Amino acid sequence: MTLSPAFVEKLHSIVGPEQVVTSPTRLQHDSRDYYWFSPVLKPMLDDKAAEVIVRPQNIEQLVAVIAAAVEARVPITPQGAATGNYGQGIPMQGGLILSTRNLTQIVALTPQSARVQAGVILRTIETEARQIGAELRFFPSTLMTATAGGFLAGGAGGIGSVTWGTLWDPGNVLAVTVVTVEETPRILTITDPDEMQGVIHNCGLTCVIADLTFALAPAQPWQQYVAAFDDFESGLRFGETLAYDDDLHKRLVTILEWPIPTFFRQLMRDNACPDGKAIALLHLTMDDAQLAEKLAPFGGRITWHSPHSAYLTSGWQLSDFSWNHTTLWALKIDPTITYLQDQFDPERVYEQLRQRKERYGDDILEHIEFMRFRGRMYPQGLSLVRFRSPQQLQELMDYCEAIGIWLANPHTHYLDDDVRWNGQPILDARQRWDPHGLLNPGHLRSLEGNRE
């Protein structure tokens, strides 16, 4: 659509001209997330951009911008830090990007929970919480830039999920304050876990998040380690001993096949990644001797260590090479690489890995993150793939599903193509809170062609 000058002027009157972006260059740049991780999504979404970006500075302005957009029937795409990987934050029909980056108030902080506005950076929460003996239960590898609201709307788990699970797991998200997209927007505080399913991982399709309350965990004296193994399977078996031991404090258990470590320039420079070896990236509370004892049965050895005194104080952390940051480092070296988001059957993981490796060889490189999901521990894959064609990628995904590897397809921008999506709660919430279908249109395949 084409926005009227009168509508843009109204936005100026609400938030001030300096908080309204209309420059074509800025719009093109700021309308992007990390969809370009996918060679399938990149050509599909490269030309999509908003017609205006608005950055409210408080909740009152947020509500007023929503009311103005509803009155003019302008599509709204909510945006945090735009660090998602799936293109689900790309405005498919132009309209307005509603940025929450200026909503940066920590409303309440206790050792048990943090209530924050949607634009608060996760690193800020972690830093402030550690001052009172607490920490985030888990966070994405984009800790330094991701916003709380963006993580809730587009994320799932991350560093810490090996212990605490995901956003969907009970007790991790305690409350959410949302704004409905109606002529007279309502501000609703949601604490019921069932109703919250319409907000968690909704990708901006059901409401605008104003603030949220995360449960916190007691702060731990995390030590960071890299350990090396002769082969990937030895590293994976070691990782299982940590992941499945509920008595161990752990925040990160990442297992990476060689040559993935060659993509990590800092770690290679520090001789943390011996030639030809699989590695583990670890956040643990044990000391060198305790870890060495656990590594010995698997032929592993410590190759790098950073003490707790350096945790979150240096320029980079070991978690910067984990989860989907692994893919980012790989793409910096080899732009033909993409990835899968796969999850293995805990009872069949070695069989599944061997079958896939026999078929695809080095066209797929293994990357496992241990993650608790709905009460059960899983080897969660963020496997690197050498992309040759969309057909090759689809054949690979079909084969994975045929041998029982569960996939959350990162090469589609449709939320309802993701097997994790909570279909009915999302659709019900959208109907209640966005009756005109203005929120982030074009990202639900089931609603294509049904927009007002």
- Other Cβ atoms less than 10 A from the Cβ of 133: the count is 10
Q: Is 437 left (phi over 0), alpha (psi -120 to 50) or beta?
A: left
Mean pLDDT of 200-207: 94
E-assigned strands of 139-222?
A: 173-179, 187-190, 208-218
Length of the chain: 452
Amino acid at 236: L
Give 217-244 pLDDT, tens digit per residue: 999 999 999 999 999 999 999 999 999 9
- Rounded to whole angstroms, how far apart are CA atoms 94 and 77? 9
CB 100 within 8 A of CB 78: yes
User: Are the C-beta atoms of residues 282 and 227 closer than 8 Å to each other?
Assistant: yes
Residues 6+ apart with CB under 8 A from 250: 162, 163, 242, 243, 282, 283, 284, 285
Helix (H) or strand (E) holding 403: none
Taking only the tens place, the pLDDT of each residue in 368-377 is: 999 999 899 9
Q: What is the DSSP string of 252-295?
A: EEEEE-TTGGGG-HHHHHTT-S-TT-EEEEEEES--HHHHHHHH
**What are the angstrom distances between the C-alpha of 269 and each of 241, 261, 273, 322, 365?**
29, 11, 9, 17, 22
Distance, in Å, from the CA atom of 288 to the CA atom of 253, rounded to the nearest integer, reads 16
Confidence bin at 344 (pLDDT 50/70/90): very high
Q: Domain boundaries in the chain?
A: 106-219, 223-407
Helix (H/G/I), strand (E/B), else coil: 188: strand
- Whether 223-407 and 106-219 are alike in CATH topology: the answer is no
Closest-CA residue to 11 (of 80, 99, 132): 99
Identify the residue with better confidence: 416 or 68: 68
pLDDT at 381 over 70: yes
Handedness of CA 428, 434, 438, 439 (dihedral sign): negative
Radius of gyration of the chain (CA): 22
Average pLDDT, the chain: 95
How far apart are alpha carbons 382 and 23 in whole angstroms?
36
pLDDT for 300: 98
CB atoms within 10 A of CB 40: 20
Q: Are strands 367-373 and 250-256 parallel, antiparallel or unpaired?
A: antiparallel
The pTM of this model reads: 0.95
CA distance 355 to 242: 25
The answer, yes or no, to whether the previous bond of 259 is cis (omega within 30 of 0) is yes
**pLDDT > 70: what percent of the chain?**
98
**How does pLDDT run across 400-430, given as a tens digit for each residue?**
999 999 999 999 999 887 655 667 889 999 9
CATH class of domain segment(s) 106-219: alpha beta
User: Which of 326-360 are b and which e, b meaning 16 or more Cβ less than 10 Å from the residue's Cβ?
Assistant: bbbbbbeeeeebbbbbbbbeeeebeebbebbbeeb
Q: Using the structure block, give the residue that is written with the tokens 């731990």.
A: 220
Task: Give 1's pLDDT tier (boundaries 50, 70, 90).
Answer: low
Name the 3-class secondary structure at 350.
Answer: helix
Query: What CATH number should be reported for the domain whose range is 223-407?
Result: 3.40.462.40
